[in-house]
Amino acid sequence: MDVKLISFTPDPERTVAAAARMCYSPVGAKRILEDFSDKEVEDFLRKLVAMGHMSPIEHASFTFAISGISRSSSHQLVRHRIASYSQKSQRYIKEEDFDYVIPPFINNNPEAKEIYEKEMDNIRNTYKNLIKLGVHREDARFVLPNACETSLICTFNARSLHNFFKLRCCTRAQWEIRKLADKMLEEVKKVAPILFEKAGPPCISEGICREGAMSCGRIKNH
């Protein structure tokens, strides 16, 4: 899995703080960034998150290039609707020699891994045979597995990212989408550390756990 932040709103934290300042200050639009110290930016950002006043953080956006994830994981990712996606098309790109993701539990079980890899080879051969018979790629792709690797570009605003991290960084999330979320969080913290310092599952962002009997117990250990 490879995740890279390829574009983002310039000076995202100051942009968000300026939006918040507009809400709480009599300063006009022409002067919104004048005499705006780094300390004031930090204070505005922390105040926003603490108050749950999240609309100003929508003014910062972040674009990621993602590759090496399964179609299974990408299907989970695109359920987060307040985002934009451009994904590799199996309709137009040949998949005769597709790469695939092996879940850790299967990868660590030699017998299961052998069965899994054999089935991936069978699917490859089936796909190739369909293409040889003149089946269009858009129809031959129906036999491709959820394990098939994919790549995509996605853009989120900061508020949508906070929601994404709240749901997908939780240990209850499926392992692959959780790994993806953790990597995306690492990337945005490099350019907006204050904006995302409280981002993550509710046990981190709010100090609570809503999983009940399904809780991993992390919050009890902190």
Q: Where are the beta strands (DSSP E) in 99-209?
A: 149-157
Residue type at 3? V
Q: Where are the beta strands (DSSP E) in 58-179?
A: 61-70, 83-87, 149-157
Cβ within 8 Å of residue 204, ≥6 positions away = 169, 198
Q: Which two tokens stand for residue 161?
A: 């990212």
Based on the residue annotation, tell me whether 137 is a catalytic residue of this protein. Answer: no
How far, in whole angstroms, is CA 215 from its chain's centroid? 22
* H/E stretch holding 132: helix 110-132
Task: Tell me which of 21, 168, 172, 218 is the catalytic residue.
Answer: 168
**Locus of tokens 């490099």:** 190
Instruction: Just list the catalytic residues.
Output: 168
